[in-house]
Structure 1
Amino acid sequence: MVSARRKAIESLYKGLCTVKVWQGVENPITHVTEHKEVALLTDQKCKLSYEKQASTTPTGGPAVIAQTTKLFVAPELDIPAGSKIIVTQNGKTSEFARSGEPAIYTDHQEIMLEAFVRYA
């Protein structure tokens, strides 16, 4: 049974995410293993959260603005490190990579993301 707290958290989810990994897949005809992008999870409810941080350099130079991106998803989802995570929220689609271990709570998990460049 889903708790009232989890329902409240998930009511804030406005996006959908797809999780893809780069893995070996055997060709059924040639029996040769080829590496391909494979979807592990598709259309999972989620929420992206953005936080901007401003800091100055020790020499008193101009402020540097950094942005932290965090993904909120269901706690039972297993998203491996190095995965490509494609999120569509508010009509915009963005590609991210999972960085670091997720913070898993009773009703959700929080995963820090960075812009996807390529598979490791």
Structure 2
Amino acid sequence: MNIRRYRLALERTYTDRLTVQRIEKVKVNGETKQRLVTVYEQQPCRISQKTLGTNGQTESVNRIAYETKLFAAPELEIKQGDTLTVTRGQLTRTYTAGEPFLYESHQEISIQRKTEA
């Protein structure tokens, strides 16, 4: 298999945009604090629905949880627990990254979105 050609073919499907943030220790006025730091912005990617959403209706809230998979370039260092903001067209959603699975041509990451409706 020609990995370069395979990667180029995959990257043609990357019509979504990805911003990656993670909590890191930073020095502020000589004091070490934990802050949400942007690691990557507007990187090409593709999300794909992995499982259908579940509806957890209670008397006070309707919880919606479903899982999707993210495809991105293997050079991006995405860590489990990172906050991923993905934009598709006019729709922007925030997810939490699972553990990445790396291939030579791309990486696949299980991402979870939990929200209340």
Equivalent in the alignment of 2:49: 50
- Report if aligned partners of 1:15, 1:88 keep a CA contact under 8 Å in 2: yes
Structure 2 residue aligned with 1:90: 89
Q: Give the TM-score, by structure 2 length.
A: 0.78
% identity of equivalent residues: 32
Judged with a 3 Å threshold, the aligned counterparts in structure 2 of structure 1 residues 116 and 68 are, in CA distance, closer, same or farther, namely closer
Cα offset for 1:52? Answer: 3.5
Give the count of matched residue pairs.
104
For 1:100-115, what aligned pairs fall within 5 Å after superposition? 101-115=99-113
2:14 aligns with 13
Aligned-residue offset at 1:4: 1.6
- Residues 4-48 of structure 1 deviation map (CA, whole Å, 9 limit, x = unaligned): 211110000111101001122101xx2011221101111110001
**Structure 1: 5+ residue runs without aligned partners?**
55-65
Unaligned runs of 5+ in 2: 54-64
- In structure 2, the residue matched to 1:34 is 33
Superimposed CA distance per residue, residues 79-102 of structure 1 (whole angstroms, 9 cap, x where no aligned partner): 111110000012210000012x22
Does the 8 Å CA contact 1:84/1:116 hold for their aligned counterparts?
no
In structure 2, the partner of 1:23 is 24
* Alignment root-mean-square deviation, CA: 2.4
Greater percentage in strand: 2
